[in-house]
Amino acid sequence: MIEWLVVWGVTEAVGILVKPILEDLVKDGAKDFAKDFFKDSLKNVIVGEKDPRKVAAGKAIKKFLELVQQQLKIAGLPPDEIKRYIKDVKQFINNKSVKEILGKA
C-alpha cells in the first residue's frame, strides 16, 4: 500500500494540528475517506491503488487543516491550546456532509 502521508506531503513540519489528524485518517482508511469526499464528483472514474481521488482528497484536507491551524495561530493560541482542537476538527472533517461539500470544490 502507498504511504499516503508521503503522497500527501505530510511531514513533521506541517504542524501540531495537521499531522495527527491525517495520521488517524490513514489508519482509518484513506480509501473510504476518498469515496465519501468525492461522493458525487468523479463517480465513473475507475482507478487502482494509486487512486488520484485519494491523492486529491488527502492534499485537499491537508490544505484545509493547515488553514485552520494558521487561523488558530493568528488568533494567538499557543501550541498547547491548538492541540485541544484536534478532536473537534477531526470530528468535523469526518462528518459525511462536510466531506461531500469539500469534495465538490
Quote the distance between the C-alpha of residue 87 and its chain's center.
Answer: 13
**Whole-number pLDDT of residue 32:** 61
**Whole-number pLDDT of residue 37:** 63
**Whole-number pLDDT of residue 105:** 63
Cα–Cα nearest to 42, from 26, 55, 23, 59: 55
**Whole-number pLDDT of residue 40:** 53
- For residues 99 and 37, the answer to whether their CB atoms sit within 8 Å is yes
**Whole-number pLDDT of residue 23:** 83
Q: At which residue does the C-alpha cell 488568533 appear?
A: 75
**Whole-number pLDDT of residue 8:** 77
- Cα separation of 45 and 27, whole Å? 24
Cα–Cα nearest to 2, from 28, 30, 24: 30
**pTM of the prediction?**
0.72
Q: Which pLDDT tens digits describe the chain residue by residue (105 residues)? A: 358 777 777 776 678 888 888 888 777 665 566 666 655 554 444 444 567 877 787 888 888 899 999 999 999 999 999 999 999 999 998 888 887 777 776
- Cα separation of 53 and 72, whole Å? 28
